[in-house]
């Protein structure tokens, strides 16, 4: 956290050898065109000429390109990975944009204008002046059911989505309930079936939000989007309705009962700690005095 302060107040660390936000202007225009098209057709996967980025595929090359294309010098950027601001992926992407764009960064959800995320939606409700950028590994919801890209495109074109329910059927047949817990397929505005990226299904109801949501898949070269307040319905069966599930515990650190929890193994005797996966949400609650049953003195000291 002190690291962030230092970088922000030291503009001479900003690299001037690169164009603003690393990508050249032509590339950003190309990506913006793809973004505009994807916003015009919610849930439709728009192909774009994904560039090599200075990070491996799978580390958020799609999200980074989308962020680079929408970033302006006045923006404040927040990057989260599984809800946390302080994991390797989040830290390196945040520092990447600090260096190449010199934008302000933050860990506070409410202060950010652009939030790049991997596999989570922040707990705090997002506003209409914010943009949420997802890193997407496999944009095609039908991919593991139908390997042919030609065929899946045809299925989207003709709205042949019966196969998606076959997957849910298999879940119930094998596990007695819909066991798909993340990347839970949704139908957008009654038209396209979309993979919401591997967010937990707990986050699915939050997909109908005020902020713009952009999804970038670098390796697969696809961008798709949800405009504000778009209707997003999680697929289910009449007798097995969709359920936004989470671990049945309060957060051990801040006591929150409404947030998505990570399970942490704390010793080799079966001891475990459930804690908010959204670190900013948890820290903010602790700062105003909320305490969970497992909050230790040292953690309190940090908060």
Partner 1 sequence: MTPLLQVEDIAKYYGTRIGCTDVSFDLYPGEVMGIVGESGSGKSTLLNTLAGHLTPDRGAVRFDTRADGLRDTVTMSEPERRMLSRTDWAFVHQHARDGLRMNVSAGGNVGERLMAVGARHYGKIRATASDWLGRVEINEDRIDDRPASFSGGMQQRLQIARNLVTGPRLVFMDEPTGGLDVSVQARLLDLLRNLVREMGLSAIIVTHDLAVVRLLADRLMVMKDGHVVESGLTDQVLDDPQHGYTQLLVSSVLQV
CB closer to partner 1, 30 vs 193: 193
CB closer to partner 1, 57 vs 240: 240
- Does 216 participate in catalysis according to the annotation? no
Among 127, 165, 229, 272, binds partner 1 (CB under 8 A): 165
- Does 62 participate in catalysis according to the annotation? no
If binding is defined by CB under 8 A, does position 150 make contact with partner 1? no
If binding is defined by CB under 8 A, does position 239 make contact with partner 1? yes
- Does 43 participate in catalysis according to the annotation? yes
Among 7, 51, 57, 170, binds partner 1 (CB under 8 A): 170
If binding is defined by CB under 8 A, does position 162 make contact with partner 1? yes
Catalytic residue among 43, 216, 252, 255: 43
Query: Closest approach of Cβ 83 to partner 1, in Å?
Result: 32
Query: Closest approach of Cβ 141 to partner 1, in Å?
Result: 15
Give the interface segment with partner 1, choosing from 80-88, 163-171, 191-199, 265-273 (CB under 8 A): 163-171
- Does 271 participate in catalysis according to the annotation? no
If binding is defined by CB under 8 A, does position 233 make contact with partner 1? no
CA angle 27, 214, 189 (to 5 degrees): 130
Give the interface segment with partner 1, choosing from 86-94, 238-246, 272-280, 291-299 (CB under 8 A): 238-246
Interacting residue ranges for partner 1, rule: CB under 8 A:
145, 158, 160, 162-163, 165-166, 169-170, 172-174, 237-240
Q: Which are the catalytic amino acids?
A: 43, 251, 254, 276, 282
């Amino acid at each position: 956290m002190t690291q962030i302060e230092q970088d922000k107040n030291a503009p001479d660390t900003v690299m001037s050898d690169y164009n603003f936000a690393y990508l050249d202007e032509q590339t950003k225009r190309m990506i913006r065109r793809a973004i505009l098209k994807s916003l015009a057709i919610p849930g439709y996967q728009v192909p774009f000429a994904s560039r090599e980025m200075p990070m491996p595929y799978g580390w958020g090359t799609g999200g980074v390109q989308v962020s680079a294309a929408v970033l302006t010098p006045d923006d404040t950027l927040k990057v989260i990975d599984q809800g946390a601001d302080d994991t390797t992926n989040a830290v390196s992407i945040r520092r990447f944009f600090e260096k190449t764009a010199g934008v302000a960064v933050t860990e506070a959800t409410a202060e950010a204008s652009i939030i790049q995320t991997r596999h989570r939606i922040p707990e705090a409700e997002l506003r209409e002046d914010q943009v949420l950028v997802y890193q997407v590994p496999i944009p095609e919801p039908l991919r593991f059911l139908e390997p042919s890209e030609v065929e899946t495109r045809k299925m989207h074109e003709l709205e042949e989505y019966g196969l998606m329910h076959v997957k849910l059927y298999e879940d119930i047949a094998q596990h007695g309930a819909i066991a798909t817990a993340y990347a839970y397929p949704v139908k957008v505005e009654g038209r396209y079936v979309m993979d919401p990226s591997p967010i937990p299904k707990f986050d699915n109801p939050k997909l109908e939000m005020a902020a713009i949501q952009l999804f970038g898949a670098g390796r697969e070269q696809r961008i798709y989007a949800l405009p504000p307040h778009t209707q997003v319905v999680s697929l289910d069966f009449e007798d097995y309705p969709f359920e936004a599930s989470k671990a049945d515990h309060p957060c051990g650190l801040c006591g929150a009962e409404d947030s998505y929890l990570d399970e942490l193994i704390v010793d080799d005797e079966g001891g475990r700690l459930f804690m908010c996966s959204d670190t900013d949400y948890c820290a903010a609650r602790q700062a105003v005095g909320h305490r969970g049953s497992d909050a230790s003195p040292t953690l309190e000291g940090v908060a």
